[in-house]
Every structure is written in structure tokens, then in C-alpha cells.
């Protein structure tokens, strides 16, 4: 696909994340690709071992992505859900099935650079088989007007002996209203790593993320890391749930949030439950400001408090 | 699972039916702070699936176990195009834990090694049968509301004109209705009826939507 077929505003919209969407377009790179321009499928490319099929519906698309048994691919499967309009509704129903013994990274980009009354909804199901290594990374950019309402829901099932890593990143631009719900079910000996990062920047920004891991199989392990900041009236709620329902499972929820400027709100609700007597679940949360010592050290190098705080936020939201 | 000691009488057994607002209640909801309307017990798909399986009738542990597996199919790709091979089975230990949990919260009970629901869960078919009655109820409510609207506004003159009085009235009236219905034994004195119905419907509605569209 040549460059002009996809809106330039979207292609360059993730530069602040050091991501160039052009590198993932059909014809560039080797991975499978599905590109959505508002509610129209504008690009679809399959590779050996990956079946991709999409159908346009009234306000969006339904898509199937199957990673065939034993497929191990280095290049990520690229999903780009772009909207270059101010208003509208984009609804996406993806179903991703990674059969047994597969290794894959899915890189999703959701970019709405002009959003001002735009609604993006997703209702996704991911089924990951046995002995898989599956990484799902989603990077969002909702423009600079706090004009998006983004409400994705994901149900993820991770099979025996599999590793699932989830990375969600919404730290550039203004988020608008964001309500995300992710339920992950972990089977025997599986490992779940979920990293959430978000930054609310003004009064019109409200980010509420519920990330749940249900440890349903023996020896399943999980860690949820939620990092967020709210400034100038922004609101952030990080709700991390881990449930230990199986023998010898082990889970942890970690939440760090920074609140800046009057009127901003940071909330954390780590919710852990242990049902099996041999399970072990823990949580830790810290909210508020950075330690004064850190700020002092940066200010001693000539930075203002605001600059020092900005650097610390950048570092917090970028760290692994 | 349940204790049979003197301490049992002093233990919270997971079900509270108190109509009067108590000092320790949540200020926002006027309900017990530890027993929210959508209890965490229903957050988990396995527990929801168990309740849905039991909605079809009492089952033994083995029957529940055998029904609690799933093989997801693609939405668009047909079996002829590619036969997807993937299946999930919840383990016996986990199901046992969930059953004990549901029993502890009095949503199911175990009798002669058979698990059964303690609450009704409606199917979509049953809800369709109710449709006409729902319309009848609503129409009667509209008549009453339009008759009383001005009268209520006159009574509460100190309220701002923009206050959504009707919403408050409806919310409070429903609360009162539940209390009176329970008193008259017209509905069972059990919590969470609405939630379970909604869960069942959500699941079936999504499946129906798939059937219609693909």
C-alpha cells in the first residue's frame, strides 16, 4: 500500500512514542497487518502461519486473527485502528486465537488525532493455547482536544504453560474519557504480565482502567503493574484485581500514581482475593507526589520544580 | 464447609437483608459497605458459568466439570477454510474452590451430592414472555408519574427547578417497591436477582448477535 492511501495525520501521530506507523504498513516489514481507516478496512496482509479476515459492519469491523499451531514469528502482527475525523463511532470486534506452541507479538495502534466527540469501542476475545508466548502491545493517541471516548473490553484466556504479556500505553496527547476493562484467565503454569501506563492532563481527562487476572490453574503466576499520573484537573482510577483460585498460584498487583496540580484526582483500587488455601496474592500501591529528595536533586542541577517533575513522570511512565 | 459451632451464629454468612439504613452503611449507596449491589462473586467467568449451567437444573460435580470447558471458534473463518483446534478446561480443584465460594455466599446449595441454585435465573425465552407485562407496568407508571409530577413539584418548592425530581422519585419508589414486595412475599427475600438475570442475558444476547450476523 502506498503512503497516500492512509491519512498522514495518523501515520505520524505516534512519533512522540518513537513509533512510526509507516514501518508497519503493508509492503513494509514482514508481519501480518490489518489497517482500519475509521470503519473501512484499508489494508490487510497475511503471512505464513497467520490467517487474518475482517468484515466491515455498520459502525466498525469484526475481525478474526488465527495464529496456526506451532507458528513462531518474529515480526509483529500489526493492527492499526485509526480515525482521522472529529466525530463518529468506531466499534471493533476482534477475536484472536493463538493455537498451541505459538510465539507471536501483536502490536496495536489506536490513533485518533482529531478526536472531538469521537467514540471508539472494542469488544475483544483472545484465546491463547498451550505452550505459547504471546505479547499484546497497544499504544493509544487521542489527539489534543480531550475529545475521545474510548471504551475497550477484553476477555483473554491463557492456556497451560503459556506466557502472556499485555502492554497498554496512553501517555501522549490528551486521553479524554477512557474506560478500559480487561479480564485475563490464567490456566495451569501460565505466566501473566500486564503493564498499564496512562497520563490524564486536564479537567476533561478521565482514565479508568480495570485490569483483572484470575489465576485459575495450578502454579499460575501474574503481575499487574499500573503506572499513572494526573495533572491540572485530570482524573485517573487504576483498579487492579487478582484472584487466586487455584493451588499454589501466585499473583501481585502494583500501582504507582502521581498527582499534580489542584483539582487532579488519582485513585487506586487494588483488589486481591485468595480462595485456594495454597494460593498467594499481594498488592502494593503508592499515590501522591514524588519524594522531595528526588525533586531536590534535579532542582540542584538547575531545573525548576515543574521541569523536575516532568522528567520524573516521563521516567516513571517509561520504565519497564 | 459451614461451621457448626457456637461461633457460627456470630459470623457473617454472606447475606444481609436489612432495610433500615444503619450507621455503618456506605454514605453513597445507603447499603452495607461490604456487600455492594454487584458482588465480586460474579466478576469471575467460571462462577458465572457454573450458575448458568445450574440454571438448567441441579447437577453433580462431575456434570458441572464436564460442562465447564470451551473450544472457541472464529467469528468469520469457516471450518472449511481452517479448522481451528483449541480448547480450554477448568481444573477440578479450581471448580471445587468456586463451588465452595458460591455455596458460602448462599447462591447455590449442596444436597445429596447435587448442586442446585438457591435463586432463579431467567432465560431469554422467559424474559420475552415477560415483555408485555413490562410494557403494562411502565404504562401504569407513566400515568401515575404524570398525575403526581406537578403535585410533587409544588410540595418541594425549595428545590431548584432543574433538579431531576422524577429520577429521584423513581429510584426511591423502586427501593420501596422491593421492600413491600418482600414483605408481601411476592418476591423471595434474596439479594442479587437483577444482577444474575442481567448476566445471563448479556451472555445469550452476545451469542444471539453472533448467530444473526455471521
Question: Which residues on adjacent β-strands are paired with residue A137?
Answer: A107, A167
Same domain, B102 and B147: no
Residue B72 forms contact with A (CB below 8 Å): yes
Q: Report pLDDT for B7.
A: 43
Distance CA A281, CA A270 (A): 11
Angle, CA B125 vertex, CA B68 and CA B190 arms, to 5°: 70
C-alpha cell at A129: 493455547
User: Which residues on A lie below 8 Å from B100 (Cβ)?
Assistant: 275
How many domains would you assign to chain B?
2
Distance CA A279, CA A124 (A): 29
Q: If pLDDT is split at 50, 70 and 90, which confidence band does B147 have?
A: confident
Higher local confidence (pLDDT), B142 or B128: B142
Nearest CA-CA partner of A96 in B71, B210, B72, B85: B72
Q: Pick A97's closest partner by Cβ from B84, B94, B97.
A: B84
pLDDT tens string B52-91 = 889 889 999 999 999 999 899 999 999 999 999 899 999 9
Distance CA A179, CA A183 (A): 13
Name the pairing type of β-strands B69-70 and B88-89. Answer: antiparallel
Q: Is A55's CB within 8 Å of B82's CB?
A: no
Q: If pLDDT is split at 50, 70 and 90, which confidence band does B38 have?
A: low
Give me the phi and psi of A192, to 5 degrees please: -120, 130
Angle, CA A140 vertex, CA A138 and CA A145 arms, to 5°: 170
Give domain status of residue B205, yes or no.
Answer: no
Higher local confidence (pLDDT), A259 or B169: A259
> Which of A216, A272, A278 should be substituted to probe chain B, the one whose Cβ sees the most B Cβ atoms within 10 Å?
A216
Count interface pairs A-B at CB distance under 8 A: 88
Mean of pLDDT values over B128-145: 85
User: Which residues on A lie below 8 Å from B101 (Cβ)?
Assistant: 275
The DSSP symbol for B111 reads: E
pLDDT tens string B177-207 = 878 888 888 876 665 555 455 555 556 666 6
> Which of these three, B98, B117, B136, is where a domain ends?
B117
Same domain, B99 and B147: no
Q: Report pLDDT for B214.
A: 60
- Domain limits for position B34: 6-117
Nearest CA-CA partner of A289 in A256, A319, A267: A256
E strand segments, B136-203: none
User: Whole-model pTM?
Assistant: 0.85
Same domain, B146 and B103: no
User: Which residues on A lie below 8 Å from B95 (Cβ)?
Assistant: none
Q: Report pLDDT for A165.
A: 98
Percent of the residues in chain B that have a pLDDT greater than 70, as a whole number: 70
Same domain, B20 and B93: yes
User: Which residues on A lie below 8 Å from B40 (Cβ)?
Assistant: 271, 273
What is the ipTM score, two decimals? 0.86
Q: Pick A95's closest partner by Cβ from B75, B81, B213.
A: B75
Q: Report pLDDT for B172.
A: 80
Q: In the Cβ-directed half-sphere of A313, how many Cα atoms lie within 13 Å?
A: 23
Mean of pLDDT values over B26-55: 78
Give domain status of residue B177, yes or no.
Answer: yes
Give domain status of residue B204, yes or no.
Answer: no
Distance CA B180, CA B171 (A): 15
Residue B1 forms contact with A (CB below 8 Å): no
> Which of these three, B74, B97, B117, is where a domain ends?
B117
Give domain status of residue B193, yes or no.
Answer: no
Residue in the block written with cell 499513572: A228
User: Which residues on B lie below 8 Å from A63 (Cβ)?
Assistant: 75-76
Chain A residue with minimal CA distance to B75?
A64
Same domain, B103 and B10: yes
Same domain, B152 and B170: yes
Q: Report pLDDT for A319.
A: 66
Same domain, B100 and B46: yes
Give domain status of residue B132, yes or no.
Answer: yes
User: What stretches in chain A show pLDDT beneath 70?
Assistant: 1-4, 319-320
Same domain, B130 and B79: no
Same domain, B15 and B92: yes
Q: Report pLDDT for B186.
A: 82
Same domain, B108 and B137: no
User: B149-174 burial, b if ≥16 CB within 10 A, otherwise e?
Assistant: eeeeeeeeeeeeeeeebeeeeeeeee
Q: Is A55's CB within 8 Å of B76's CB?
A: yes
CATH code for the domain of B107: 1.10.10
Higher local confidence (pLDDT), B156 or B2: B156
Give me the phi and psi of B4, to 5 degrees please: -125, 45
Q: If pLDDT is split at 50, 70 and 90, which confidence band does B213 have?
A: low
Q: How far is CA A57 from the centre of its chain?
A: 24
> Which of these three, B77, B102, B117, is where a domain ends?
B117
Q: Is B86's CB within 8 Å of A54's CB?
A: no
Give domain status of residue B201, yes or no.
Answer: no
Give domain status of residue B129, yes or no.
Answer: yes
Give domain status of residue B192, yes or no.
Answer: no
DSSP string, B45-107: HHHHHHHHHHTTS-EEHHHHHHHSEE----SSS-TTT------EE--HHHHHHHHHHHHHTTS
User: Which residues on B lie below 8 Å from A214 (Cβ)?
Assistant: 44-46
Same domain, B109 and B138: no
Nearest CA-CA partner of A77 in A144, A135, A32: A32
Higher local confidence (pLDDT), B214 or A112: A112
pLDDT of residue B159 exceeding 70, the answer is no
Same domain, B150 and B183: yes
Calculate the average pLDDT of chain B.
77
- Least Cα separation, residue B106 to chain A (angstroms): 16
Amino acid at each position: 500500500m502506498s503512503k497516500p492511501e492512509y491519512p498522514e495525520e495518523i501515520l505520524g501521530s505516534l512519533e512522540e512514542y518513537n513509533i512510526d506507523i509507516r514501518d508497519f504498513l503493508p509492503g513494509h516489514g514482514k508481519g501480518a497487518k490489518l489497517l482500519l481507516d475509521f470503519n473501512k478496512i484499508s489494508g490487510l496482509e497475511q503471512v505464513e502461519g497467520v490467517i487474518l479476515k475482517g468484515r466491515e459492519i455498520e459502525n466498525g469491523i469484526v475481525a478474526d486473527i488465527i495464529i496456526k499451531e506451532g507458528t513462531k514469528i518474529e515480526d509483529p502482527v500489526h493492527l492499526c485502528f485509526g480515525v482521522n475525523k472529529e466525530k463518529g463511532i468506531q466499534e471493533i470486534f476482534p477475536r484472536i486465537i493463538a493455537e498451541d506452541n505459538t510465539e507471536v507479538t501483536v502490536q496495536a495502534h489506536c490513533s485518533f488525532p482529531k478526536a472531538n466527540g469521537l467514540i471508539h469501542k472494542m469488544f475483544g476475545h483472545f484465546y491463547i493455547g498451550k505452550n505459547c508466548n504471546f505479547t499484546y502491545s497497544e499504544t493509544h493517541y487521542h489527539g489534543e482536544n480531550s475529545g475521545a471516548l474510548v471504551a475497550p473490553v477484553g476477555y483473554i484466556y491463557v492456556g497451560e504453560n503459556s506466557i502472556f504479556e499485555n502492554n497498554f500505553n496512553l501517555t501522549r496527547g490528551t486521553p479524554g474519557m477512557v474506560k478500559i476493562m480487561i479480564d485475563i484467565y490464567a490456566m495451569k503454569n501460565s505466566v501473566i504480565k500486564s503493564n498499564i501506563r496512562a497520563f490524564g492532563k486536564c479537567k476533561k481527562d478521565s482514565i479508568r482502567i480495570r485490569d483483572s487476572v484470575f489465576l485459575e490453574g495450578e502454579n499460575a503466576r501474574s503481575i499487574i503493574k499500573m503506572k499513572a499520573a494526573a495533572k491540572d484537573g485530570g482524573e485517573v482510577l487504576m483498579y487492579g484485581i487478582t484472584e487466586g483460585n487455584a493451588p499454589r498460584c501466585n499473583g501481585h498487583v502494583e500501582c504507582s500514581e502521581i498527582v499534580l496540580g489542584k483539582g487532579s484526582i488519582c485513585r487506586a483500587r487494588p483488589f486481591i482475593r485468595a480462595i485456594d488455601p495454597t494460593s498467594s496474592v499481594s498488592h502494593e500501591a503508592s499515590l501522591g507526589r514524588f519524594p522531595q529528595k528526588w525533586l531536590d536533586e534535579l532542582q540542584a542541577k538547575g531545573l525548576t520544580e515543574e521541569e523536575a517533575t516532568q522528567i520524573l513522570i516521563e521516567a516513571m511512565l517509561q520504565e519497564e | 464447609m459451614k461451621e457448626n459451632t457456637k461461633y457460627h451464629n456470630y459470623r457473617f454468612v454472606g447475606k444481609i437483608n436489612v432495610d433500615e439504613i444503619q450507621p455503618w452503611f456506605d454514605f453513597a449507596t445507603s447499603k452495607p459497605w461490604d456487600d455492594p449491589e454487584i458482588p465480586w462473586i460474579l466478576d469471575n467467568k467460571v462462577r458465572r458459568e457454573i450458575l448458568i449451567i445450574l440454571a438448567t437444573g441441579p447437577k453433580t460435580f462431575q456434570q458441572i466439570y464436564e460442562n465447564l470447558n470451551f473450544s472457541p471458534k472464529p467469528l468469520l473463518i469457516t471450518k472449511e477454510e481452517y479448522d481451528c483446534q483449541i480448547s480450554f478446561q477448568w481444573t477440578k480443584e479450581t471448580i471445587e474452590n468456586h463451588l465452595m465460594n458460591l455455596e458460602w455466599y448462599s447462591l447455590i446449595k449442596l444436597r445429596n451430592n447435587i448442586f442446585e441454585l438457591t435463586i432463579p435465573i431467567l432465560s431469554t425465552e422467559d424474559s420475552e414472555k415477560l415483555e408485555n407485562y413490562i410494557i403494562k407496568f411502565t404504562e401504569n407508571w407513566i400515568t401515575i408519574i404524570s398525575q403526581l409530577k406537578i403535585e410533587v413539584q409544588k410540595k418541594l418548592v425549595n428545590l431548584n427547578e432543574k433538579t431531576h425530581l422524577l429520577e429521584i422519585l423513581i429510584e426511591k419508589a423502586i427501593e420501596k417497591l422491593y421492600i413491600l414486595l418482600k414483605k408481601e412475599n411476592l418476591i423471595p427475600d434474596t439479594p442479587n436477582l437483577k444482577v444474575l438475570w442481567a448476566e445471563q442475558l448479556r451472555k445469550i444476547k452476545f451469542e444471539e448477535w453472533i448467530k444473526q450476523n455471521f
